[in-house]
Amino acid sequence: MKMRAAILLLLLLVPMCGAQACEHVNIYTELKELKAMVTKLKTNADIMKVAFSAGLTESGVVVSGGNELNLVFSKVTTNVGEAYDSATGFFTAPVKGVYFFRFNVMDHPKYRYMHIMMFKNNDRLMYLDEYDTDGHSTHLSGGITLELAVEDKVNLRLPAGNQLFDDSRNHCIFTGFLVFLL
C-alpha cells in the first residue's frame, strides 16, 4: 500500500517537475540565444570599425615616369581595422559594406596637366585632371561611395608621365571608412 501511494505521488509530481523542467530549459535556451546575439553584436561592432587616412610622402616630387604608378600612401595617420596596407597602397575591404573614400593630391605643374586615377580592383572608377594656367600649386580632390565585397581592393594611381608633390605638410592624402555593413 505504501508503495502504491509513493508511485501515485510520484506520478502526480512528475508532470509538475516536467513542466518546471521545460520552463527551465526554455529559459536556458533563451539565455543561450541572447548570449549568442550579444557576442554577434560585439563582433559586428568590432568589424564595423574600419577607417584609414594616410599621407603620400615627405620626399617632395613623386614621378610616374613612362609607366602608370601605384601610389603608396606610407604616412599612416589612422588605420583602424588594419584594412589599408601602407606597404602596397591598397585598401582591402574586410567586410561586405558601403565605404566612402576621399583623396586630395597636389603638384606644382607650371603650365601642364596633372592627373590622378582611382581603381576598384582593376577597374578604373575615376580619372581626374587639372590644367595649371598660373604656375601655382594645383590640387585635385575626389570622393566616392562604393559598395565593396570582402577582399575588394581600392587604390590610387598616377598615370604615366605625371608627377605629384608632397612633403611633411601632407598635401596628398588618401582616406576611407566603412559607412555600414551589407
Summarised one tens digit per residue, pLDDT across range 118-145 is 999 999 999 998 877 776 788 889 999 9
CATH class given for the domain over 50-181: mainly beta
**pLDDT, tens digit (0-9, with 9 covering 90-100), for 10-46:** 455 555 555 565 565 567 677 677 677 766 666 666 6
Domain range summary for the chain, segments of one domain joined by +: 1-47, 50-181
Q: Which three cell numbers stand for residue 181?
A: 555593413
Quote the pLDDT of residue 142: 94
Classify residue 169 as left (phi > 0), alpha (psi -120 to 50) or beta. alpha
Quote the pLDDT of residue 79: 97
pTM of the model: 0.75
CB 156 within 8 A of CB 116: yes
Q: Which of 107, 166, 164 is nearest to 137 (CA)?
A: 107
Quote the pLDDT of residue 50: 96
CB 86 within 8 A of CB 73: yes
Q: Which residue has the higher pLDDT, 11 or 78?
A: 78
E-strand ranges in the chain read 51-55, 60-63, 69-70, 75-80, 84-85, 90-92, 97-107, 113-120, 123-131, 138-148, 153-158, 163-166, 173-181
Helical H segments across the chain, by residue range: 2-47
Q: Which of 176, 181, 111 is nearest to 145 (CA)?
A: 176
